[in-house]
Amino acid sequence: MKVSYLSLLGVLLIAAISQAKSPFIVGGQDAAIEQYPSLVQIEFYFPWLGVWDQQCGGNILTSYWLLTAAHCFNEWWYDPQNTRIRAGATYRHTDGSVHYVDFERNHPEYNKASRFDSDVSVFKLLTPLVYSPSIQPGTIVNQGFVIPDNYPVVHAGWGTLTSSGPSSHVLQDVTINTVNRAVCNSRYSNVNVVINENMICAGLLDVGGRDACQGDSGGPMYIGDVIVGIVSFGMGCADPVYPGVSAAVGSFTDWIVANAR
């Protein structure tokens, strides 16, 4: 099943309506937020359940502006008044600095050319972040940057440990390799999904076992400490045939900079 990387609660809530993916890290290891201080949890309030739940990850750009996936803010239940971030926290739903969302700007080409194309959004907070060792702005890659094939990249987040499984209480990270776009597109053509130049495929091809997963949507793909991708979608999680797919930040850097202000 092709899904966006939203958390299990979100998947259960929208299963009848959407096939978007929002995963948890699969095959990873525990990490501390000080290793990834630009990473935040995005939490949504579900009034009919009376709970806040972390559904996506986000990336700090400035004290007011953050970067995530457009599909995180494109579900029927999304309301900026019921959306907040938790920064500087290693543990899911615990501690850190909580700030509420003012408004979002989804990329105008999101979902138009193909499913999950241009899956990029910037959003503003109502109150500014206060920087500390665990809360810092991230660095995004230059416009036009293209990652080589079979290059190691890192995902970090609080997503599920297995596809549709339980979310991790502690931050996880995992290292995988980029997959040639033509090969990835050939695989996804079997399920009528187009992989284009705005996307990065990554995983352990024909092996599987490591990936982002539900709840990791909108979180980072790193090379070193530079954000090169935004977790977007996949077929389940850690599938050996279908690599995970992230939005390629290098296709959108100019748009991000122009709109995050």
Query: Which domains are delineated in the chain?
Result: 1-261 (2.40.10.120)
Smallest Cα–Cα separation from 160: which of 26, 51, 67, 24? 24
Q: Note the pLDDT of residue 4.
A: 65
Say which residue, 81 or 5, is predicted with more confidence. 81
Structure tokens at 227: 């954000």
Smallest Cα–Cα separation from 125: which of 137, 117, 134, 116? 137
Average pLDDT over residues 60-79: 96
Structural contact between residues 84 and 101, judged by C-beta atoms closer than 8 angstroms? yes
Average pLDDT over residues 54-75: 97
Catalytic residues: 71, 119, 217
Angstrom distance (rounded) from CA 248 to CA 251: 6
- Tell me the percentage of the chain whose pLDDT exceeds 70: 91
Q: Note the pLDDT of residue 165.
A: 83
Average pLDDT over residues 82-100: 98
- Residue 6 above 80 pLDDT? no
- Tell me the percentage of the chain whose pLDDT exceeds 90: 87
Q: Rounded to whole angstroms, what are the CA distances from 174 to 55, 57, 155, 235? A: 19, 15, 5, 18
Residue owning tokens 């809360």: 135
**Residues 164, 166, 168, 173, Cα dihedral to 10°:** -30
Structure tokens at 8: 């299990």
Structural contact between residues 151 and 161, judged by C-beta atoms closer than 8 angstroms? no
Q: Note the pLDDT of residue 73.
A: 97
Strand-pairing partners, residue 53, are: 44
Structure tokens at 229: 């991708």
Average pLDDT over residues 63-73: 98
For the entire predicted model, the pTM comes to: 0.91
Structure tokens at 102: 């003012």
pLDDT-derived band at 166, boundaries 50, 70, 90: confident
Q: Note the pLDDT of residue 5.
A: 56
Smallest Cα–Cα separation from 200: which of 237, 229, 220, 235? 229
What is the biggest distance separating any 2 CA atoms in the chain, rounded to whole angstroms? 47
- The angle at the Cα of 251, spanning 249 to 254, to the nearest 5 degrees, equals 85
pLDDT tens by residue, 7-22: 434 333 322 223 333 3
φ and ψ at residue 234, rounded to 5 degrees:
180, 180
- Residue 138 above 50 pLDDT? yes
